[in-house]
Amino acid sequence: MAITNNLFKLTLPDEWKETTVYTFEGPFDSGVQHNLVLVIDPFIGKDTTIQEYANQQIEGPKNTMPGFELISEGEKKRADNAPAYEFVYKYVPAENVVLYQKQVYILLNEKACVFTATFSKKTLKTIAVDIDVVIANFKLLESEE
């Protein structure tokens, strides 16, 4: 398998799988360095719905993040009608530090596209609005190989 982007080309043995992770750094606001992480998982089962996939994936944070509290979850409507599911939760990674995360799972071209963004309580109402627009306009391009 060959992976090419605008920075490098990498050839891996056939039995290796590519699971790309992109990290985008946002503003520092309200004591939080905001970020948006995108994971593209090409190995979602053919019969797995995005809600089933999302529910499997949220188990990790539920079981490992200190003070995990689910705030909301549900289907997300997209203009392209791609199946999407969202979780919003908070957790307490250190004393007197409360962070909020929004995870959006989208099924595009038989791949799971998972967005995770981190916020403070304040920026969940401000910066999160901009992130929602970024995610809503996300398109997965087909490979030219």
- The pLDDT score that the predictor gives to residue 144 is 53
- The verdict on residue 69 lying in a domain is yes
Residue 83 lies in domain: 20-136
Q: What does each C-alpha distance from 137 to 23, 101, 120, 130 come to in angstroms?
A: 17, 19, 23, 11
- Whether the model pTM is above 0.85: yes
Give the CATH number of the domain where residue 106 resides. 3.40.1000.10
- The pLDDT score that the predictor gives to residue 15 is 87
- The verdict on residue 95 lying in a domain is yes
Number of domains in the chain: 1
- The verdict on residue 14 lying in a domain is no
- The pLDDT score that the predictor gives to residue 4 is 61
- The verdict on residue 122 lying in a domain is yes
User: Which tens digits make up the pLDDT trace of 134-143?
Assistant: 999 998 887 6
- The verdict on residue 144 lying in a domain is no
Confidence band of 59 (pLDDT split at 50, 70, 90):
very high
- The verdict on residue 6 lying in a domain is no
Supply the mean pLDDT for the chain: 90
Which amino acid does the sequence have at 125? K
